[in-house]
Structures are given as C-alpha cells and as structure tokens.
C-alpha cells in the first residue's frame, strides 16, 4: 500500500493490537458522512436523493468525533455529500487530527481553493479529490463542464500549500483499459498526486443512471487489461496489492464490511455505506446486532456486482498481515 511510513507503521501496530486482543471484528477506516447535500448532481450518485429536510442537516462536531472515538478506527474518510459545504468541516478534521486519526477529506474540489486556508497541512491529513477521468470524461461523469479544470487547479493549489493530495476515481461501463491508463498516468505523472484510489462504481438502487455500472466480469476484464504489462506497479495506488489482485480477478475474497463501517446523520449504517438495512446507535451495537454472514456476493442479490473497497479492502489487508510474503509485497509497494 503506497502510504507514508508513519501511517503504515501506525496501521501495522493497530492491527497487531487487535490480534493480541483476539478482537475478531474491528474498524480500519470509518466512512464519515456528516451531511448528504452536494453542489453537484452526478447521475451515478446514491447519496443526494434524500428529501430536502435531510439534505439541510449537518452533523455536529461532537457527534462526529464521538463516533470515531467510540469505534477506535485509526483512519477516517470524510465523505457525503460534499463535506466542504459543512460550515464546521475544518473543525471536525482538526479535532480528528488532534486525536492522531489519519483523515482523508473526500471532495469534488469545487470549494477547495476557497476553503483551503481553514485547513493546516499535517501528516495525518490528506485531500481525496474526486476525479473520474480526463477533462471530457470527468465533466460528463459529474454532469458539469469546467469541473475537471477546477479540480486540477485546486489540486495544484493544495500541493503548493504543502498538503498531501490523493485522488479517488470511479470507473463505469463507458471506461476502457485505455481510459483507465490515461487518467492514472495523468494523475501519477503530470499532476503528481501523492496516491490514487480507484473503484468500480457500485450499482446504487437510488442512482438515476442504472445503465453504466460494471458487473464483476466487466470489472475484472477492465482492470486486468489496464494493469497488464506490469503497469500497475508504476502507479502510486493507495490499495493493498491483494485488493488490486482482487479487482483483476486474480484473488477472490469474502466481504468484511465491518472493517470499513459508515457513520452518517442517521447513525451506523448496516451493513456498509453502499447499502442501507437500518442503523445502529453505536459501532458496538452495529457489530453485535448485524448478521454479517448474510452479506456479500452469493448471499445477498444487492451485493452481486459489488467489488467495492469498503467490503473487500479490509479482507485484503487482513490476509496481507497474516502472510509474510504478502506483507513484504505490500511494503515493496
Ligand atoms: S460529487 Fe459525490 S456526493 Fe456529489 S453528487 Fe457527485 S457523487 Fe454525489
Ligand atoms: S458486498 Fe459488502 S461492501 Fe458490497 S454492498 Fe454488499 S455488504 Fe456492502
């Protein structure tokens, strides 16, 4: 996993502590959703369909910090909606950084340059900018022209100000191995972002566009061809090698969605941030009252096409730590 040494060491220590404590289920990253409102309306989005009174709600700083402290996760991915719309998002991020949690703030970057001065560069903080492709492809994906150029300008400004900047790219059926390579080459070599995350789009039931989600066979073909010729090693991908093997169809895992749980305005979402089978008030309650064995491919039809990191990256990370060979492979990047 291409992460800074401090973060890698902290994660290794955290995982060892869980094993010593014989804890079977524990969080690696929390998907924190402090609001659902966004300043874009992407056709593949499953988050912005809530009624207006829900879209207007904002999570309090105390609620956000309390949830992370209760579950003990070492990493937090702040998403939404668009987090930068939240008037206290910089306070939430700063409070989590103060508690030595590694924070990724996911954003479409439209407000990033305007809000940059509210944030302080830290080894515990990184931007995760939504970039679904090169200019034409990204602007079509988010359904607004000019968004790509704004995101690129914001990434450059954040890097110039000393921030760690990562990106998050979702792929759909209109992508090809060529477009995957082009966008990763651009982010890696031209923009020189610190790390890149990739994901096949999850088929949200509520998303307006239901035609362009990738199935499992399509996902494996897409990434298998895009990663061919050893190319995947030259990109700074922020994933474990085993998870990338999984995307390519070289490894098969069970879903361990308890490893990347989601906390939103409604509580802890069951079983993951992609699907909603109700909510729990605490992470402990989520773990103890969810039938985890009923989720994953072959168990729930809604999981059939899912290869998302929130279900399968924890499995890959846990398998990595159980294997010396895989641990060395992950360290080699
Ligand atoms: S930017 Fe993200 S949260 Fe906003 S509409 Fe698009 S996918 Fe949804
Ligand atoms: S396979 Fe796992 S991560 Fe994917 S939708 Fe189902 S429960 Fe969520």
Q: Which residues contact 120 (CB under 8 A, 6 or more apart)?
A: 94
Q: Could you tell me the distance, in angstroms and rounded to a whole number, from the CA of residue 209 to the centre of ligand 1?
A: 13
- Ligand 2 probe mutation, 310, 314, 315, 316, most atoms within 8 A of CB: 310
The ligand that comes nearest to the alpha carbon of residue 81 is 1
CA dihedral of residues 84, 211, 274, 22 (deg, nearest 10): -120
Compute the Cα dihedral for 131, 134, 138, 144 and give only its sign: positive
Average pLDDT over residues 36-47: 89
Q: Are strands 195-200 and 29-33 parallel, antiparallel or unpaired?
A: unpaired
**d(Cα 137, Cα 212) in Å, to the nearest integer?**
13
Quick count: other Cβ atoms within 10 Å of Cβ 211? 9
Which ligand has the shortest distance to the CA of 85? Answer: 1
Residue 3 has pLDDT above 50, yes or no: yes
pLDDT digits (tens, 9 = 90+) for 184-240: 999 999 999 999 999 998 776 666 666 777 889 999 999 999 999 888 888 999 999
Contact 294, 222 (CB under 8 A): no
Neighbours of 243 (CB within 10 A): 24
According to the model, what pLDDT value does residue 326 have?
Answer: 64
pTM for the structure as a whole: 0.93
As a whole number, mean pLDDT of residues 281-294 equals: 97
User: Residue 80 CA: which ligand 1 atom is closest?
Assistant: 3
């Amino acid at each position: 996993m291409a992460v800074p040494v401090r973060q890698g060491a902290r994660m290794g220590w955290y995982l060892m502590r869980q094993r010593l404590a014989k804890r079977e289920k524990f969080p690696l990253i929390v998907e924190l959703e402090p609001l659902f409102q966004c300043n874009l309306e992407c056709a593949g989005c499953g988050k912005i369909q809530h009624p207006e009174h829900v879209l207007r709600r904002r999570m309090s700083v105390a609620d956000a910090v309390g949830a992370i402290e209760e579950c003990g996760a070492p990493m937090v991915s702040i998403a939404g909606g668009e987090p930068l719309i939240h008037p206290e998002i910089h306070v939430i991020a700063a409070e989590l950084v103060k508690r030595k949690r590694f924070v990724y703030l996911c954003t479409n970057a439209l407000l990033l340059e305007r809000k940059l001065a509210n944030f302080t560069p830290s080894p515990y903080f990184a931007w995760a900018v939504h970039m679904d492709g090169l200019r034409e492809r990204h602007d079509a994906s988010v359904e607004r022209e000019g968004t790509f150029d704004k995101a690129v300008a914001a990434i450059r400004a954040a890097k110039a100000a000393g921030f760690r900047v990562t990106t998050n790219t979702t792929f759909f059926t209109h992508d090809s191995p060529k477009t995957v390579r082009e966008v990763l080459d651009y982010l890696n070599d031209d923009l020189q972002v610190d790390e890149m995350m990739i994901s096949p789009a999850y088929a949200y039931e509520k998303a307006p566009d239901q035609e362009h989600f990738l199935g499992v066979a399509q996902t494996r073909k897409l990434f298998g061809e895009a990663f061919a010729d050893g190319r995947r090693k030259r990109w700074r991908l922020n994933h474990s090698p085993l998870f990338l093997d999984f995307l390519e169809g070289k490894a098969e895992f069970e879903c361990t969605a308890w490893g990347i749980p989601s906390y939103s305005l409604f509580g802890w979402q069951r079983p993951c941030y992609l699907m909603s089978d109700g909510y729990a008030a605490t992470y402990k309650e989520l773990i103890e009252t969810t039938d985890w064995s009923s989720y994953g491919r072959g168990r729930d039809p809604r999981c059939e096409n899912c290869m998302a990191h929130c279900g399968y990256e924890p499995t890959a990370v846990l398998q990595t730590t159980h294997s010396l060979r895989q641990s060395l492979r992950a360290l080699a990047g």
